[in-house]
Every structure is written in C-alpha cells, then in structure tokens.
C-alpha cells in the first residue's frame, strides 16, 4: 500500500486545489439559493426533464463517493473504509433530509461537515 508521504507536497497542493474548487462550487450554489430562494435541486427539476435530473443525481452521488480515496492517501485509512464512509454519507444526507424537517437536517449536515473539517485540520496540524 502506498503511503501519502511518498508524494510530498505535490499531493497536499492537489488536495488543496480540489478543496478550493469545491468551496467555490458551494459558494456559487449558496449565492444562487439566496438570489432565487430555491436550491439547485429545485432549479434543475424545473429546467430539465426527469431523465436528466436522475442522471444529475447519480453524478452527484458518484462525485461525493470519489472524494473518499483522497482520505486513503492523506490519512492512511484503508481504501475500502474511505469509500464506504463517503458512500454512506452520500446516501445518508438525502435520506435524513427526507425524514427530518429542513432545519434539523441542515443542522445535522452542518455538524457532520464541521466534524470532518476539524478532523482534516487536526490531521494536517498533527502531521
């Protein structure tokens, strides 16, 4: 198994670049939500047909699951656990949003994302 230390700072810069791209996408999504008072799912369901919406949903799930392997290289966690945890969260977020009211699911997602962010920051600081 390849350890992340082999790649040095090249890997850190790549992960940092991808994280900045994700932050930019989240920022733009939040701006659209503030201006239109609708989220991207609502906008896509109004603009596209059902087949395209299903394809976009599958693409979003695959994109979230693809974020898992970088935890393997950076933190040294085995690949199966990384992909499993990321896939579980990709399935769990829409399910929780459906089961709970909007405020509770948002609070739960913010708490989960904050814990991931803090563990990432602590991992970088410790390393």
Per-residue model confidence as pLDDT tens digits over 88-97: 777 777 777 7
pLDDT computed for residue 33 by the predictor? 84
pLDDT at 66: 66
- Report the sign of the C-alpha dihedral through residues 127, 11, 67, 33, in that order: positive
Give me the mean pLDDT over the 24-51 stretch. Answer: 86
pLDDT of residue 5: 60
Cα gap 98→78, rounded to integer Å: 31
Mean pLDDT of 78-95: 72
The reported pLDDT for the residue numbered 75 is: 63
What is the model's pLDDT at position 122? 78
Q: In the 8-state DSSP scheme, what is residue 68? A: T
Domain boundaries, the chain: 4-126
**What average pLDDT does range 95-119 have in this prediction?**
73
């Amino acid at each position: 198994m390849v350890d992340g230390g082999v790649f040095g700072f090249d890997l850190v810069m790549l992960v940092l670049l991808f994280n900045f791209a994700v932050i930019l996408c989240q920022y733009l999504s939040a701006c659209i939500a503030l201006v239109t008072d609708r989220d991207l799912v609502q906008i896509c369901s109004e603009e596209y047909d059902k087949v395209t919406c299903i394809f976009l949903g599958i693409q979003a799930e695959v994109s979230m699951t693809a974020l898992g392997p970088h935890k393997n290289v950076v933190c040294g966690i085995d690949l199966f656990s990384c992909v499993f945890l990321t896939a579980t969260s990709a399935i769990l977020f829409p399910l929780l949003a459906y089961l709970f009211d909007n405020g509770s699911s948002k609070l739960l997602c913010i708490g989960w994302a904050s814990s991931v962010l803090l563990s990432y920051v602590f991992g970088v600081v410790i390393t």
